[in-house]
Amino acid sequence: MIRLATDVGGTFTDLIAYDERSGRLFLAKSLTTTDDQSVGVLDAIAQSEEHGLSTENVSFLVHGGTTVINAITERKGVRTALITTEGFRDVLEIGRGNRPDLYNLRSSSPEPFVPRHLRLEVAERLDARGNVIRELDENDVLRCIDVLKAEKVEAVGIVFLHSYVNPAHESRCAALVREALPEVSVCTSSEISRQWREYERSNTVAMNAFVQPIIRRYFRNLEVAFEKKKLQGPYYAMQSNGGIAKFEKVVDAPLTLVESGPSGGVAGAARIGSIVGEPNVLYFDVGGTTAKCSLILDSQPKLDSDYKLEKTRTSPGYTVQVPVVDIVEVGTGGGSIAWIDTFGRLRVGPQSAGSTPGPACYGRGGVLPTVTDAKLVTGVLDPSNFAEGRLKLDTDLAKKAVNLVAIPLQMTVEAAAEAILRVAEETMINALKLVTIQRGHDPRDLALIVSGGAGPMLGARLGQELKVRKTIIPTHPGVFSAWGMLAARPRVDVFRTVFGDVDEAGIAIINAVLTELEREAVGYFELPTEEGLSFSPKVEMRYRGQEHSVAVDFKRSASIADLLDTFNAAHAKAFSFDLPGSAVEFTAVHLHAEAQTDVINVARLGSEKWSESDAIKGHRKVYLGDNGWVDCKVYERTKLSPEVDLDGPALVEEATTTTLVLTGQKFHLDAFGQLIILPG
Amino acid sequence: MDERSSIHFPTISGELPDFDPVTHEILNGKLLAIVDEMAIVMTRTSMSPVIYEVLDFACGICNKDGDLIAQTNGITLFTGTFGVQVKSVIDAFGDTLAPGDVIVTNDPFSGGTHACDFAIVRPIFSGSRIIAFAINIAHWLDVGGAIPGSLPPNANSVFQEGLRLPCIRIARDDVVIEDILKIIRGNVRLPEMAIGDFNAQLATVRIADRRVSEIISRYGAETLELTFRTLLDESERQARAVVAALPDGVYNAVDVIDDDGVGGDPIKVQVTVRIHGDELEVDFTGCPTAAAGPINCARGALNSAVKTIFKALVSPHEPSNEGWFRPLKVIAPAGTIFTAEMPSPTGWYYEGSVHASELVWKALAPIVPDHFSAGSYTSLCVTYISGRDASGDLFVHIEPEHGGWGGCNDRDGASGLIALTDGDTYNYSIELLEAKFPLLVRRYALNTDGGVGAGRYRGGYGLVREYEICTDDAEIYCGFGRTDTPPWPMEDGQPGSVNYLEVLDKGGLTERLGRSPTRAVRRGDVVRIVTGGGGGWGAPSERSVDAIASDVCNGLITLEKAQKLYPHFSTARAN
């Protein structure tokens, strides 16, 4: 059986396929085709076929990538309408009315995804408990249908107030529209989110409707192409929640694919953590322009159910209520440009040289110094052995670029390069602290897993600064998101906004809702019973009077006292204080359901007779700050033997990247081929 | 990309900083991360919607002299208050501060704003020496006084505006002094909420202490203090460069504050801005004496109001610190509406101070048109609805309203954004508030009937929000400014529209309110909140026909009104 994953990125489409019988691995990279991304996917498959992949043997396929986020970013959706409760069609446009750009006295708000003349209202109203105050006026719906027809609308979202408690009016309205306009794509807010906050739910359904027809078409094309290649199904898509779902499921709620690519990496990190016996992981992926970090606790990625798209320091962005792995992104990556600001301070990023022209050392016309140039100047990178020797790096061009900051700072070129790295690392460390220390998690309890082309060069220093237990460079760090997709399981997350006191009655309500959610999950997986599924229920709780809640694991058997203890401890951990004895209430239930399918296995390496001299490719001088130029052994990763401890400083080279190990650190390959760096 | 990211390589290195610029950059990043962490803790743990929804709080770090070093704020009101508050703590306690001390102060006349804003200050030590202060200021929902919410719109003295604690030690050795908590509990209406917010504030300054101490133990106190000095000097240099590039001259603006809350005449206010070299002087001489009602602000709030505009001018995106404001001088005689003194009421101070901000904005807009829009709806239009719910419990719903901003020199104004005095302030979710309060929202929409200032670039739209009262026991009060004097236009644009609140009773009678003391409302009454549209920029005759057609298509303006305001639109349609 062959497991195959494709990850469509901004520049490249990665493919990874693993033949479980032979242990053979296929890796391919094609250029991403922006107009129809399925072309690039098929290119990558064709490349692998040339290397002997037989598509008929593929029986597990995951597809992930940037398709949905691109359609949104480039506003390539369809003509979309929104039907709302009478009196509330402007909620989508008003948003939350905030000005994050405080001192900009020419502020503007994000443009809504549905223009005002396509936002239609119908008479109907529920109260906060879901009781009907005003029946749905079906004549209003019919009037809307006429407008939709006249306006040649291709997709419609429906959002009514308090539908998170009672979706009946939305469902009835959707049924009427679907019946009258079978060719129009229709979705309701409650089909995608059962959480409160009307703007966020309105925006979720509007954006979902906006991309749905395009995504449906895309997946249909892909399916046809896969079938033609005789790839066996079912075909899965990588969702943003760290799990996968069948194609026919994701086209119902395409917005769940919004962070598909990064989520693959997070799923992979969770899996690697399990393999090496580290359930608590800090995952860090360094790309060309940005770096992303996520926290994984008990082998489970943390989810963010209020995800903000296109949020920047100056724009509130668009909030969507779909489960997305909690990712903190910083504008510092391998291509980030170093510069000196008007204060005379050295800064790195957020501008990036990207892949064109790329860092100065690529010799493709880039003249500004980047993190990659700094790595070359300090000797971490081998100019003749970058990207498997396909690209020769030019050290002189890198030095010339770094001199642009070295001269005004009155530093030597290597000291300036080191300074660039320190500033870049500091930005990354602050982001890593944001997801750990600032949320009450001590990095000393965590393992740091680093991926991405530039990640392994930086990992050892970051791990040292954060004092993590160990730093792990997984196998295939360059195509780790795709690898992670093979490690993900079919998964669904269902949320309900529910209120109740933490008492017998409240717990009874939670149990009843949970039973309902479990039934929903069983239905989602189209199973007769819950056999083969694992359920992880959580409840959100807060002290009465608070707005924000803390999520804690919920056990049906737990007593009130246990639950309160768990909550008080979680609150104290996250916010440095708790208020035992204060009234506590439930605000939501979250069920994470996962099918217990097999995932990619990681073979144990054989322990052959090994000699260090075989693994050493040579020596290189690396500039390590205060220690100056230090002689480092250069190892070939594929020739390291498992469980043999080696000492830093050292460089470990592999096809797509180079790992730097610092003086005083130890490192080894573990039994599963993971490169592990330990503090001295 | 904003202007921060422009790539710049100085070729001359004559003015090198006197220490390692890399360490400086790293410490600077750490300081900003600390104030960010304080803010995260504050929003996530606060008990009151004013804080977690409105973000009516700010966190910061000052140096040992009380100069602001780093700050996060969700609103602009606290732009310049920290320094004065910390200095008042230094004056009050001198050398007697010890590690583990926490001071509380909410006195408007010691650099504060109004009694509802509680500042918590914690000195941070290196050994026996104070290196810095952590400060957190947050709006408490109720601090006692004449009415729930503590802001009687018709107050005529500060004594009606609740409990004041002018620089009181509230913790020693990191242990809260129970007697002070008793005073607070005994004097506020929602003691649990107040103590909850106090706990959240306490947690933020404790975290700041821990983090700054980590920096000190790794880099040393001297290095940190050198970073403080460098930050202030660098910001000052930048600010001076911006001011120096502006044309020297004297710039004036006038405006009117409609109603002081106790029924006085409209209040004419004015400013003179003098730019000379790299210094900017803002002079409020000539403004009237303090009003009888609570829209006065004290000098601390005035300075903050002016600093807000100055920051928008010199560097809207760089983090704030005291250095930016060194080229700024604010002149105002004591005892005026902008420099009120004991015992003038200041509860609604931000309704006064926002006019001080807008005056400076209006004076500068003609010379820096790419930094400023035309006039906005200005007033936060804060509305209080309180009463007892079905189970007899007291509820207080307090809400600032969002409204229309002015047109810009290159685009239309923004609709439904929060006023200048606030910032990253969310509107209140309807689903959330209906689950909490006996209120039913009937409409939340753009205020198309009131309209906006026409112009080449029109103003943005205000909003309409209607509450139906669903309890027998409720009352409202409110503080709406710009109820008569509409938002000002720029160049040849037209003024915007005004704010007001209407109570529609079941009998069909409508009463219009602006700044109104407590008034009973009954089940079935509707409270309609209307905010104005912004002023227009440029002559309406220069507005593009496509833009007008789009507004008509989207129902923002009727065809008739469009043809009247924009005669060239009729001509274009006829052709």
- CA gap B29, B24 in Å, rounded: 9
Lowest-confidence segment of A111-125, A211-225, A330-344 by average pLDDT: A330-344
Q: Rounded mean pLDDT of A414-437?
A: 90
pLDDT at position B10 is 45
Q: Which residues of A touch B40 (CB under 8 A)?
A: 438
Question: pLDDT tens digit string along A320-369?
Answer: 999 999 988 888 899 999 999 877 788 998 888 877 788 999 998 999 99
The stretch A54-70 carries a mean pLDDT of 91
Structure-derived torsion over alpha carbons of residues A354, A100, A550, B398, reported in degrees to the nearest 10? -170
Q: Which of B21, B46, B361 lies closest to A345 in CB terms?
A: B21
CB–CB contact A102 B423 (8 Å): yes
> Does the pLDDT value for residue A45 go beyond 80?
yes
Q: Check residue B237 and give its pLDDT.
A: 94
Q: Does A387 touch chain B (CB under 8 A)?
A: no
**For the ranges A581-590, B122-131, B148-157, which has the lowest average pLDDT?**
B148-157
Q: Give the confidence band of B434 by pLDDT, cuts at 50, 70, 90.
A: very high
Structure tokens at A117: 């003349």
Spell out which residues of chain A touch residue B427, defining contact as CB-CB under 8 Å: 94, 96-97
Cα–Cα distance for residue pair A88/A94, rounded to 1 Å: 10
Rounded CA-CA distance A488/A264 in Å is 7
Is residue B18 over pLDDT 60? no
Q: Which of B6, B7, B233 to mutate to test the interface with A (most CBs of A within 10 A)?
A: B7
DSSP B197-227: HHHHHHHHHHHHHHHHHHHHHHH-HHHHHHH
**pLDDT higher for B57 or A283?**
A283
pLDDT of residue A251: 94
Mean pLDDT of A615-634: 92
Mean of all residue pLDDT scores within chain B:
91
Residues B330, B333, B336, B341: is their CA dihedral positive or negative? positive
Q: Output the six-digit token pair for B64.
A: 């040992």
Of the candidates A237, A241, A234, A424, the residue with the CA atom closest to the CA atom of residue A333: A424
A545 to B553: CB separation less than 8 angstroms, yes or no: no
Tell me whether residues A87 and B75 touch, CB distance under 8 A.
no
Q: How confident is the model at residue B54 (pLDDT cuts 50, 70, 90)?
A: low
Yes or no, beta carbons of B33 and A433 under 8 Å apart = yes
pLDDT tens across B499-537, in order? 999 999 988 899 999 999 999 999 999 999 999 999 999
How many whole angstroms separate alpha carbon A649 and alpha carbon A302? 34
Q: In A, residues 127-156, which contact B (CB 8 Å cutoff)?
A: 127-128, 133
CB-CB under 8 Å, B206 with A99: no
State residue B12's pLDDT score: 37
Q: How far is A556 from chain B (nearest CA, A)?
A: 27
Confidence of residue B554 (pLDDT cuts 50, 70, 90): very high
Phi/psi for B169 (5° steps) reads -75, 125
- Quick one: tokens of A562? 């246990």
User: Which one-letter amino acid corresponds to residue B46?
Assistant: S
Percentage with pLDDT > 90 across chain B? 73
User: Which H or E element spans position A668?
Assistant: strand A666-669
Best mutation target, A99, A204, A582, to test chain B (most B CBs within 10 A): A99
- The answer to whether B278 and B243 are in contact (CB under 8 A) is yes
Query: Residue B4: its pLDDT value, please?
Result: 36
**Helix orientation angle between B221-244 and B299-314, rounded to the nearest 10 degrees:** 70
Looking at chain A, which residue has its C-alpha nearest residue B15?
A344
A433 with B43: Cβ contact below 8 A: no
**pTM for the model:** 0.90
- Asked if B445's CB is within 8 angstroms of A90's CB, the reply is yes
On whether any CB of chain B is under 8 Å from the CB of A91, the answer is yes
Residues of B in contact with A360 (CB under 8 A): none
At A607 the pLDDT is: 66
Sequence-distant (≥ 6) Cβ neighbours of residue B312 within 8 angstroms: A103, A104, A105, B361, B371, B372
Measured in angstroms, the CA of A19 and the nearest CA of chain B are apart by: 46
CA angle A135, A137, A142 (to 5 degrees): 155
- Burial bucket for residue A221 (CB in 10 Å: 0-12, 13-18, 19+): middle
For residue B307, give how far its alpha carbon lies from the nearest alpha carbon of chain A (Å).
10
**Does B26 lie at the interface with A, CB-CB under 8 angstroms?**
yes
Residue B3 pLDDT greater than 90, yes or no: no
The C-alpha atoms of residue A152 and residue A117 are separated, in whole angstroms, by 13
pLDDT tens digit string along A362-391?
A: 998 999 999 999 999 999 999 988 877 778
C-alpha to C-alpha distance for B235 and A214, rounded to whole angstroms: 49
Determine the distance in angstroms separating the CA of A461 from the nearest CA of chain B, rounded to an integer: 15
Domains of chain A: 80-211 (no CATH), 279-468 (3.30.420.40), 491-595 (3.30.1490), 612-678 (no CATH)
What pLDDT was estimated at residue A643? 84
Residue B177 burial by CB count (10 A; 0-12/13-18/19+): exposed, middle or buried?
A: middle
**Predicted pLDDT of residue B561:** 96
CB atoms A543 and B49 under 8 Å: no
Inform me whether the C-beta atom of residue B440 falls under 8 Å from chain A C-beta atoms: yes
Q: What average pLDDT does range A562-567 have in this prediction?
A: 94
Nearest to B17 among A101, A128, A344 (CB): A344
Give pLDDT tens digits for B324-333: 999 999 999 9
**CB-CB under 8 Å, A91 with B444:** yes
pLDDT-derived band of residue B53, with 50, 70 and 90 as boundaries? low
Q: Which of residues 46-105 of B touch A (CB under 8 A)?
A: 46-49, 52-53, 73-76
Instruction: Please name the residues between 212 and 251 in chain B that touch chain A, using a CB distance below 8 Å.
Output: 234, 237-238
φ, ψ of residue B378 in degrees (nearest 5): 65, -60
How far apart are alpha carbons B321 and B201 in whole angstroms?
21
Q: What is the ipTM of this complex?
A: 0.90
The reply to whether residue B45 touches residue A548, judged by beta carbons under 8 angstroms, is: yes
> What's the whole-number mean pLDDT along residues A159-187?
98
What's residue B412's pLDDT? 98
What band does B44 get if pLDDT is binned at 50, 70 and 90?
Answer: confident
- Band of pLDDT at residue B11, cut at 50, 70 and 90: very low
Domain residue spans of chain B: 15-236, 373-543
Whether B22 and chain A come into contact, CB under 8 Å, resolves to yes
Residues 6+ away with beta carbon under 8 Å from B303: B80, B81, B84, B330
pLDDT at B19: 61
Q: Which of A367, A400, A547, A584 to mutate to test the interface with B (most CBs of B within 10 A)?
A: A547
Which among A101, A344, A576 has CB closest to B21?
A344
* pLDDT (average), residues B409-416: 97
Distance CA(B458)–CA(B542), nearest Å, equals: 11
Q: Is the pLDDT of residue A503 over 70?
A: yes
In this complex, the residue of B45, B311, B444 whose CB is nearest that of residue A575 is B45
Contact B25 A577 (CB under 8 A): no
Q: Name the pLDDT band for B52 (thresholds 50, 70, 90).
A: low
Which residue is associated with the tokens 């001269």?
A407
* pLDDT at B15 exceeding the cut of 50: no
How confident is the model over B325-353, as a mean pLDDT?
94
Percentage above 90 pLDDT, chain A: 71
Instruction: Tell me the residues of chain B between 114 and 153 that have a Cβ less than 8 Å away from chain A.
Output: none
The DSSP element (H or E) to which B86 belongs, if any, is helix B82-93
What is the C-alpha radius of gyration for chain B, rounded to an integer number of angstroms? Answer: 24
Under the banding of pLDDT at 50, 70 and 90, the label for residue A543 is: confident
Q: Do B134 and B199 meet the contact criterion of CB atoms below 8 Å apart?
A: no
Contacts of B133 (CB under 8 A, 6+ apart): B61, B62, B63, B64, B66, B86, B89, B121, B122, B123, B124
Question: By CA distance, what is B54's nearest residue in A?
Answer: A98
B24 — pLDDT class (breaks 50, 70, 90): confident
Q: Are B203 and A422 inside 8 Å of each other by CB?
A: no
Instruction: Give the model's pLDDT for residue A610.
Output: 73
CA A262 vs. chain centroid, Å, equals: 3
Secondary structure letter of residue A655 according to DSSP: S
pLDDT at B288 over 60: yes
Which tokens sit at B492? 């040849």
Q: pLDDT grade, residue B436 (50/70/90)?
A: confident
Would you call A368 and B76 a contact, using CB atoms and an 8 Å cutoff?
Answer: no
Q: Report the sign of the C-alpha dihedral through residues A71, A76, A79, A83, in that order.
A: positive
pLDDT value of residue B50: 66
pLDDT digits (tens, 9 = 90+) for B135-182: 999 988 889 998 888 888 888 888 999 999 999 999 999 999 999 999
Using a CB–CB cutoff of 8 Å, tell me whether A199 touches chain B: yes
Q: What gap in Å lies between CA B494 and CA B499, rounded to an integer?
A: 16
Q: Is the pLDDT of residue B201 over 90?
A: yes
Q: What is the reported pLDDT for B14?
A: 39
- Cα A595 to Cα A68, A270, A489, A536, B327: the distances in Å are 25, 16, 6, 12, 65
Lowest average pLDDT, out of A110-114, B33-37, B125-129, goes to B33-37
Interchain contact, A422 vs B22, CB within 8 Å: yes
Cβ of B427 and A198 within 8 Å? no
Tell which A residues from 565 to 624 touch B, by Cβ distance under 8 Å: 571, 574-577, 579, 582
Give the pLDDT of residue B43.
Answer: 79
Token digits for B18?
């006197």
Find chain A residues with C-beta within 8 A of B429's C-beta. 196-199
- Please indicate if any CB of chain B lies within 8 Å of the CB of A197: yes
Chain A interface test: which of B22, B47, B189 (most A C-beta within 10 Å): B22
Residue contact A314–B2, C-beta within 8 A: yes
Chain A CB contacts of B432 below 8 Å = 196-197
User: Which residues on A lie below 8 Å from B422 (Cβ)?
Assistant: 99
Q: Tell me: pLDDT of A423 over 50.
A: yes
Query: Do the Cβ atoms of A394 and A363 come closer than 8 Å?
Result: yes
